[in-house]
A and B are shown apart, each in its own frame.
Chain A
Amino acid sequence: MNAAELPILSIMLAVPMLGAIACLFVRDELARVVALGATLLNLVLGIWLWASYDPAGAQWQFVESAQLFGPIGWKLGIDGISLLLIMLSVFLMPICIGASWRSITERVGLYMASFLLMETLMIGVFAAQDLLLFYIMFEAGLIPMYLIIGIWGGKDRIYASYKFFLYTLLGSVFMLLAMLWMIQQAGTADIPTLLNHDFPAEAQTILWLAFFASFAVKMPMWPVHTWLPDAHVQAPTAGSVILAGVLLKMGGYGFLRFSLPMFPEASAQFIWLIFGLSMVAVVYTSLVALVQDDMKKLIAYSSVAHMAIVTVGLFTFNQQGIEGAIIVMLSHGLVSGALFLCVGVIYDRLHTREISRYGGLSINMPKYALFFMLFTMASVGLPGTSGFVGEFLSLAGAYKVSTWATLIATTGIILGAGYMLYLYRRIAFGEQVNADAAAMPDLDKRELWLLAPIAAAVLWMGVYPESFLAPIRRDVATIVDRIERAAPAGDSKLKENDKTTAKYRVHAHGGEHQKKAEGAAH
């Protein structure tokens, strides 16, 4: 049966929503079960959605439209890019619930309700086809996340929750003004229509900057990333997972869905800004990550560095770069989520995130060390893991635009290897200096069930990325077609009539050459 026969997206929005309401009114034990049930049901629906999605079909599938709220249209629909990000959300949610199964003991109903509400809003962001509906879903996530950080967070949770809320709110309000102007200018709030609307070039600059303010904070890009380490460190484990796994992807999704196709000229005009900030982010935050004593902070800074590779990839204006950026987003969602879970596992045992309190865990926790190793390698970008595919593609795409930016962004991979391997060495290898850390038991069944699915997905994406590239290829091509007219000239073209390069040049078989390159990339 095909999922398109039902209003599947509305159902996927309703299931967690109803679950959230139910969680508020039941006992703690039951709230956990309800939350897990709702998220698993949504996962099943998500798999069904993916199975029913036709990569060769219409650009927008599972389209729904209803005029319920006057000017705010209830318009839903997804393309391949939305599909994969929705899959990421529904895949991580049951894991988040599972990760909080025992560590959350206070106000469980409210906690589960907040997470389920987050799930609704995340799916809503990726499925909204109305500008105002998108904004509502995008902003509404602040409330549950504020509560998650503020109620169940660590010592400085209140500071972190304020910072998270106000930073992201300030970023987004300008986007709202820009959206209102666009709706008046284009006479519609329908995103597919707006994607093909040409705004005047001088207006694009302002609009682009307004959207940039929002997405750059959400992404987060240097120098507006400072809310992220605070929020990550203070949030409970599952909060960090969802923050790193999905919320950060909203920024990238925003660039891809709005900034690039709606304002191609402005995007080309500001490429220096994006590349400049990303280069600083890659080098600077990697170096900062290198000196962290706090595991969660280290991973938070590594997130900023990885997201910088995403922004570089997105603004390459070519197929490889954008595809790569999407894969980095998905891969980072899985890997950083998994890394936060790994931190959570040992945090639950010893209640400290200080790296020096651990050591030699591969001796007493071999299974844990194995999983941690896998995710460390995926974060570094080892071939065979998901990290490699995305980073390689986006850097290959970036090379066509700016060799210098690529050179500097690539150092991020080396630095990434530096801080991740250093972290792994300090935690898993070496002497068992702390008796209490040495006495920690290995992963139990629940924790295995949390980490194993992510590990499988990471390897799947690394070994056979075609499953993930197939749904997005056509949609990325649509975006590239749309923005091609503004694409910047790259500095990596071979010189004509140059003796040193003449022998490497393939003249008549240009097409074949290109195909080969693409084949290699895929």
Chain B
Amino acid sequence: MDLSTSLTLVRPELILSFSSLALLLIAAWRQDAGRLVSILSVAALVGAGVTSAQFLAAGTDATAFDGLYRADAFSSFAKILIYIAAAVALVIAPKALEKMGAMRAEYPVLVVLAAVGMGIMVSASDLLTLYIGLELNSLAAYVLASFARNDGRSAEAGLKYFVLGALASGILLFGMSLLYGFTGSTSFETIGQAMAGEIGTGLLFGLVFVLSGLAFKISAAPFHMWTPDVYEGAPTPVTAFFASAPKVAATALLIRVTIEAFGSQAQAWQQIVMVVALMSIVIGAVGAIGQQNLKRLLAYSSINNIGFLLIGLAAGTEQGISAMLVYLAIYVAMTLGGFICLMQLKGRDGEMKEGMADIAGLSKTKPLLAAAFAVFMFSLAGIPPLFGFWGKLVVFNAAIEAGMFPLAVIGIAASVIGAFYYLKVVKTMYFDEPADAVDTSDDKVLSWSGGALALAVSPLGYFAIPALTAVTAQAAGALF
């Protein structure tokens, strides 16, 4: 395979890399050009997304750089989701960051760089590309977490994220070195072949360490401890970004590693994934109950949702993977929507409000905002007729089809525990007396994007099911 073919296959990453470099130059000379750079970054993300969509439509399925990088339907679908989520995170950010005095031109550049890393993650077909992508994304994310540098909480979040992230990277690298040592290759395909049949303790250790490192990145229990702290401390637009795009990328990466590299040892990792899934569901649900800070609550909610996602992976079938992709798409819409609602809560002096008490009686003072928030909460809880229900349904359907009845039964019973705290948010907004702590938001972008996402997860979303099913089936098919 010659270089030019390889370069055509990495077009989305090329577009983003070059634009990020060019935008960095603009940022270097014009510190106040934050908005301009944001707009250009969104344009670059849209361009990369369109390229990925073209790949998806053309059914591209090829490897580049001698098997280091893979452009298939699966990676294209994941990239489209990632770019959309990153673009939304950019669109909603400027006003909120300006209020904190943190809107600098580097913010969009960092998001684009993270997007490049995420693109590489989902396309990685070799442990080396995997690691490069993961670190590119993580390094950008550490900086983003502490982006409001005058805010102690933000700095703390960045530091925590960095230390724990480095630990996880270490675990991951250790696992990768074991895999390489025992199989003699870093390519997923060769590892997959070498792992067929009986495997020794060394390889098993490698597998467990790699899965643990990745579980940290998707914040699955028991590697979830950093999530509430980082989500709470990071500026809200950054948290919205963390909860959406990197989750998609890390999950897609996890899927590819488990299916392509460890596919022949399904027995070995299925148990791990099952335990991690159930722990995430239960810990996410129980941990959220006592939370008084809405950002922390949404952090636990994301742990909870990762658990449901992993049920699809535990099934390990093509249908399970396709279900995960459906869930991811819906999850991104729900979680971005939830954070957008949160960002509209502003106090009388323009400061951000994020406490449970601040939304008391919101339905009386801000009926539309409360309604949108309620839609996202019910949807995250998976109550029909909202679209979140469909995501839960497809993953449980995959588990049932794979014959994993105990997993499905425990998972769905635990989802009722999860419903409790989502209901609590709705209860505070609708049943309690108004606290009147929240002023009218003047950010039209937030209102419009929040409204659009609320419509998307409302029952209207069901009209998207046929298209979504077809695309995710194609994407999942690329892995098997």
B416 within 8 A of A: yes
A140-B430 contact given A165-B423, A176-B393, A184-B400, CB 8 Å threshold: no
A150's partner among B419, B427, B469 (CB-CB below 8 A) is B427
Q: With a CB–CB cut-off of 8 A, which chain B residues contact A157? A: 431
Tell me if B180 is interfacial: C-beta within 8 Å of chain A: no
Cβ B364 vs Cβ A143 within 8 A: no
B residues in contact with A72, CB < 8 Å: 462, 465
Q: Tell me, in angstroms, the Cα distance from A454 to B426 when the chains sit together.
A: 36
Give, as a whole number of angstroms, the nearest-CB distance from A136 to chain B.
4
Chain A neighbourhood of B423, CB < 8 A: 146, 162, 165-166
Per-residue CB contact flags for chain B residues 437-475 toward chain A (1 = under 8 Å, else 0) read 000000000000000000000000011011011000000
A170 touches which one: B378, B408, B416, B466 (CB < 8 A)?
B416
In contact, A135 and B401 (Cβ under 8 angstroms)? no
A177 in complex: contacting residue of B364, B389, B412, B427, CB < 8 Å: B412
Residues of B373-389 contacting chain A, CB below 8 A: 378, 383-385, 389
Q: Are A70 and B408 in contact (CB under 8 A)?
A: no
Q: A residues within 8 A CB of B469?
A: 70-71
Between A135, A169, A174, the greatest number of chain B beta carbons within 10 A of the residue's beta carbon is seen for A169
Contacting pair A151 B430 (CB below 8 A): yes
Majority-rule SS of B interface residues: helix
- The answer to whether B161 has its CB under 8 Å from any CB of chain A is no
Task: Type the 1/0 row for B406-433, where 1 means its CB is closer than 8 Å to any CB of A.
Answer: 0011001101100110010011001100
- B residues less than 8 Å from A69 (CB atoms): 462-463, 465-466
A150-B430, A161-B431, A174-B412 known; A142+B383 contact, CB < 8 A? yes
Any A CB within 8 A of the CB of B55:
no
Instruction: Tell me if B397 counts as interface (CB < 8 A to partner A).
Output: yes
Whether a CB of chain A sits under 8 angstroms from the CB of B231 is no
Looking at the assembled complex, report how far the CB atom of B425 sits from the nearest CB atom of chain A, in whole angstroms: 13
Contact partner of B397 among A150, A158, A173, A180, CB < 8 A? A180
CB distance from A142 to the nearest CB of B (A): 6
| Complex interface residues of chain B between 357 and 399 (CB less than 8 A to chain A) | 363-364, 367, 378, 383-385, 389, 393, 396-397
Q: Is A60 an interface residue (CB 8 A)?
A: no
Asked if A68 contacts B463 (CB within 8 A), the reply is yes
Is A107 interfacial (CB 8 A cutoff)? Answer: yes
> Chain A residue with minimal CB distance to B364?
A107
- Chain A residue with Cβ nearest B409: A177
Query: Which of B401, B412, B465 interacts with A173 by CB under 8 Å?
Result: B412
B384:A177 contact, CB within 8 angstroms: no
In A85-132, which residues have CB < 8 Å from any B CB?
Answer: 107, 110, 132
- Contact between chains at A181 and B400 (CB < 8 Å): yes
Contact (Cβ within 8 A) A140 B412: no
Instruction: Assess whether B465 is in contact with A176, with CB atoms less than 8 Å apart.
Output: no
CB-contact partner of A140 in B384, B426, B431, B468, under 8 A: B384
Would you call B466 and A70 a contact (CB within 8 A)? yes
Kindly supply a per-residue 1/0 record for chain A positions 140-174, scoring 1 wherever the CB is within 8 Å of any chain B CB and 0 otherwise. 10110011001100000110011001100110011
The reply to whether A68 and B396 contact each other, CB–CB distance below 8 Å, is no
The answer to whether A176 touches B416, judged by C-beta atoms less than 8 angstroms apart, is no
Q: Are B413 and A170 in contact (CB under 8 A)?
A: yes
| Contact for B400 among A67, A137, A180, CB less than 8 A | A180
Number of A-B contacts (CB under 8 A): 85
Distance in angstroms from A158 CB to nearest chain B CB is 6
By beta carbon, the residue of chain B nearest A162 is B423
Are A68 and B427 in contact, CB atoms less than 8 angstroms apart? no
Is the CB of A139 closer than 8 A to any CB of chain B?
yes
> What is the size, in residues, of chain A's interface with B at 8 Å between Cβ atoms?
35
User: Is A136 a contact partner of B416 (Cβ separation < 8 A)?
Assistant: no
Question: Which residues in B have their C-beta under 8 angstroms from that of A71?
Answer: 465, 469
A147 touches B430 (CB 8 A): yes
Which B residues lie within 8 Å of A184 (CB)? 397, 400-401
* Bound-state Cα–Cα, A285 to B415, Å: 31
Pairwise interchain contact A139-B415, C-beta atoms closer than 8 A: no
A143 to B419, CA, bound (A): 12
The reply to whether B431 and A150 form a contact with Cβ atoms under 8 Å apart is yes
With the chains together, A345 CA to B416 CA distance in Å? Answer: 37
Cα distance A176–B396 when bound, in Å? 9
Least CB distance, B38 to chain A, in whole angstroms: 34
In the complex, chain A residues 46-82 whose Cβ is within 8 Å of any chain B Cβ: 67-72
Q: Which residues of A contact B430 (CB under 8 A)?
A: 147, 150-151
Report the minimal beta-carbon distance from B76 to chain A, rounded to whole angstroms. 21
B466 contacts which chain A residues (CB < 8 A)?
67, 69-70
Closest chain-B Cβ to A439's Cβ sits at a distance in Å of: 33
C-alpha gap A151/B434 in the complex (Å): 13
**Chain B hits for A110, CB < 8 A:** 363, 367
Q: How far is the CA of A521 from the CA of B59 in the complex (A)?
A: 68
Q: How far is the CA of A169 from the CA of B285 in the complex (A)?
A: 15
Contact A180 B393 (CB under 8 A): yes
Question: In the complex, what's the smallest C-beta–C-beta distance from B426 to chain A, in angstroms?
Answer: 8
The listed residue (B364, B397, B409, B462) touching A174 by CB distance below 8 A is B409
Distance of B223 from chain A, by nearest CB (Å)? 27
A177 and B408 in contact (CB under 8 A), knowing A70-B469, A139-B384, A150-B427? yes
> A177 contacts B400, CB within 8 Å?
yes
Q: Which residue of B lies closest to A149 (CB)?
A: B431
Measured CA separation A142–B397 after assembly (Å): 22
Residues of B contacting A166 in the complex (Cβ-Cβ under 8 angstroms): 416, 419-420, 423
Least Cβ–Cβ distance between A247 and chain B, in angstroms: 16
Docked pose: A157 CA to B378 CA in angstroms: 19
Judge whether A165 and B431 touch: CB under 8 Å.
no
Min Cβ gap B433→A in Å is 12
Which residues on A sit within 8 Å (CB–CB) of B363? Answer: 107, 110
With A and B bound together, what is the CA distance between A129 and B383 in angstroms? 20
Roughly how many angstroms separate A110 CA and B363 CA in the complex, as a whole number? 10
Whole-angstrom distance between the alpha carbons of A67 and B364 in the complex?
A: 39
Which residues of the partner chain A approach B431 to less than 8 Å between Cβ atoms? 150-151, 157-158, 161
Chain B's closest residue to A142 (CB) is B383
Say whether B416 contacts A173, CB under 8 Å: yes
Closest-by-CB residue of B relative to A152 is B431
A204 vs chain B, min Cβ distance (A): 15
CB–CB A68/B378 < 8 A:
no
In angstroms, how far is the closest chain A Cβ from the Cβ of B478?
Answer: 21
Q: Which residues of A contact B415 (CB under 8 A)?
A: 173
Is there contact, CB below 8 Å, between A139 and B383?
yes
Q: Is B385 a contact partner of A140 (Cβ separation < 8 A)?
A: yes
In the bound complex, residues from chain B placing their C-beta under 8 Å from that of A173 are 412-413, 415-416
Chain B residues with CB under 8 A of A143:
378, 383
What is the bound-complex CA distance between A405 and B250, given in angstroms? 60
| Chain B positions within 8 Å of A142 at CB level | 383
| Chain B residues with CB under 8 A of A137 | 385
A327 to B426, CA, bound (A): 38
- Report whether A140 and B383 are in contact in the complex, using a CB–CB cutoff of 8 Å: yes
Whole-angstrom CA separation of A166 from B409 in the bound complex: 16
A177 and B463 contacting across the interface, CB-CB below 8 Å: no
Q: Which residues of B contact A70 (CB under 8 A)?
A: 465-466, 468-469
| A135 to B385 CA separation, bound complex (whole angstroms) | 9
CA A12 to CA B24, docked complex, whole Å:
59
Q: Which residue of B lies closest to A210 (CB)?
A: B409
Q: Cα distance A140–B462 when bound, in Å? A: 14
Residues of A within 8 A of B383 (CB): 139-140, 142-143, 169
Q: Do A136 and B385 have beta carbons less than 8 Å apart? A: yes
Closest chain B CB from A184 CB (angstroms): 6
Chain A residues contacting B385 (CB-CB under 8 Å) are 136-137, 140
Q: How far, in angstroms, from A71 to B463 measured CA to CA in the complex?
A: 11
Q: How far is the CA of A180 from the CA of B378 in the complex (A)?
A: 22
Q: How far is the CA of A369 from the CA of B211 in the complex (A)?
A: 72
B462 to chain A, nearest CB (A): 4
| Pairs across A and B, CB under 8 Å, 10 listed | A69-B463, A107-B364, A136-B384, A139-B389, A162-B423, A169-B416, A169-B419, A176-B396, A180-B396, A180-B397
Other contacts beyond A72-B462, A177-B396: 18, CB < 8 A: A68-B463, A69-B462, A71-B469, A72-B465, A107-B363, A107-B364, A132-B393, A135-B384, A140-B384, A143-B383, A150-B427, A150-B430, A158-B431, A166-B423, A169-B416, A177-B408, A180-B397, A180-B400
